[in-house]
Amino acid sequence: MLIQWYPGHMHKAKKALKDILSRIDIFIEVLDARIPFSSANPMLATICGSKPCIKVLNKSDLADSDITKEWHYFLEHERNVKSISLTTEDPNRTFCILELCNKILLRRSQSIKNIQALIMGIPNSGKSTLINILAKRDIACTGDEPAVTKVQQRIKLKQGIVLIDTPGMLWPNLRNINIGYRLAITGAIRETAFDNIEIACYAISYFRQRYPKLIKKRYNLARLIGDELEILEDIGVKRGCFRVGGKVDFERISKILITDFRSMMLGSITLETPGMIKNELAECLNIKAR
């Protein structure tokens, strides 16, 4: 599934970003802990240069805690990168980001000049909610739909830090097919950009491999038999999702499955591991070399 999704406001945001890069002291990238790699913006590596970056694994309470530990180890092997986990249940821990900024930029915290921190995150990563917590007021727009933030904002915090907020940006083409699926499953891409049944089948393929017990328990399935579409049909039967004529309503049950994942009704699930990503990147390179 190749997704083409690059709204005009994101293109403008990228251009505006280049104008302020020289004034930025530190970068904060908000990632979805369920998809730490797929929710990372590949443009950031070239934008940051040698400046420090804090990777925030947001919504970590929705993710598999063991795999989150693997991601911390993986991310902090990158030069000038520190990582931190945040949950939706403990908003006060968000302020650790400011402490980490001051610790990394100790020389700046002892001066009069404010620390300029650019905060970035793709749509629906929870960036705006995080900003509102840090600012202690509703200053950034929030919502369940992706791409709520449209313009760049500057938020001065009491801790001597100025947050520069940018609209959530996706890159023009998602060449790795798996990234597109994961972004769709977690809600980073608008529903109109993908097929729900296709996304649900991709999710089932992953769940049956990594979390079979969770999917069987949620939908009262004794076994996971057949291909992904057949399993989706079995789930539809269990949930009573029928169209006129008694056939399973695949569109409806697909939406239910996706919603169950996003609302954690299936349990704590992470959709990718560092090992998986290494294999996928290697495969992409092999395809490109052919």
| Predicted TM-score of the model (pTM) | 0.86
CB-facing half-sphere around the CA of 103: CA atoms within 13 A: 10
What token pair was written down for 167? 């609209």
Do the strands 115-121 and 53-58 form a parallel or antiparallel pair, or are they unpaired? unpaired
Domains in the chain, please, with CATH? 8-165 (3.40.50.300), 195-283 (1.10.1580.10)
Phi, psi (rounded to 5 degrees) for 2: -95, 115
- Helix/strand/coil (H/E/C) assignment for every residue in 168-228: CCCCCECCCHHHHHHHHHHCCCCHHHCCHHHHHHHHHHHHHHHCHHHHHHHHCCCCCCCCH
Q: Which one, of 176, 164, 238, lies nearest residue 202 by Cα?
A: 176
pLDDT per residue over 67-117, tens digit each? Answer: 999 999 999 998 899 999 999 788 889 999 999 998 998 755 455 578 999
Task: Give pLDDT, residue 110.
Answer: 57
SS (H, E, C) 94-144: HHHHHHHHHHHCHHHHCCCCCEEEEEEECCCCCHHHHHHHHHCCCCCCCCC
Residue 68 DSSP symbol:
H
Instruction: Return the structure tokens found at 63.
Output: 């993710």
Mean pLDDT of 28-42: 92
What's residue 140's pLDDT?
58
Tell me the pLDDT tens digit for each residue of 204-225: 999 999 999 999 999 999 999 9
